[in-house]
Structure 1
Amino acid sequence: MSKTYRSMLLIAGIVILAYGVYTLFQPETQVSVGSLDLVKAQDNTGSYITIAIGIIAIGLSLFMNKK
C-alpha cells in the first residue's frame, strides 16, 4: 500500500473514530412539557459501529505491509 493511501486511511480513521466518540457522549434528547418530562432513550449501536470502523481503519493503516 502506498504511503499516500496509508496516510489518507489513517486520517479518515481518526476522523471516524472521533465522530463515533462524539456521538456516543453527546447529551440525550429531552423534551419537557409542563411537569411532564419525556426522555428519549439513547441507542448507542451506531456509535459503537462507527468507533469500530475507525479503529479498523487506523489499524489497517498502521499495520499493513509496506511494499
Structure 2
Amino acid sequence: MNKTIKTILIVVGILLVAYGAYEIIVPEASLDIGIAEFEAQDNNSAYITLGAGIVTLLIGLFVNKK
C-alpha cells in the first residue's frame, strides 16, 4: 500500500475514533426540572462512527503493500 494512502487512513481512523468517542460522552439533550435532571441519548450513530474509525485505523496500520 502506498505510504500516502496508509497515512491518510491512519489520520482518518484517528479522527473517526475521536469523533465517535465525543458523541458517546456528550449528551444529546438534557432536561432539568428543579430536583431532577434527565438526559436522553441515542448512541447508535456514535457506535457506528467509532467502529468505522477502528476498522479504518486497523486497515491503515496492518495492511501491507502487495
TM-score range, shorter chain: 0.7 to 0.9
Give me the TM-score of the superposition, normalised by structure 1: 0.82
Give me the TM-score of the superposition, normalised by structure 2: 0.83
Do the aligned residues in 1 keep the contact of 2:30 with 2:40 (CA within 8 Å)? no
Distance 1:3 1:45 in 2: 33
Per-residue deviation at 1:41? 2.2
Partner of 1:12: 12
Structure 2 counterparts to residues 27-42 of structure 1, below 5 A: 27-32=27-32, 39=38, 41-42=40-41
Query: Considering only CA atoms, is the larger Rg found in Structure 1 or Structure 2?
Result: 1
Q: Which runs of 5+ in 2 are unaligned?
A: none
What whole-Å deviation, never above 9, does each CA across 1:20-42 have from its counterpart, x for those lacking one? 00000003412346x5x784521
Distance 1:42 1:31 in 2: 12
Distance 1:55 1:31 in 2: 33
Partner of 1:50: 49
2:58 maps to amino acid: G
User: Counterpart of 2:31 in 1: which secondary structure?
Assistant: strand
Identity %: 40
Q: CA RMSD in A?
A: 2.0
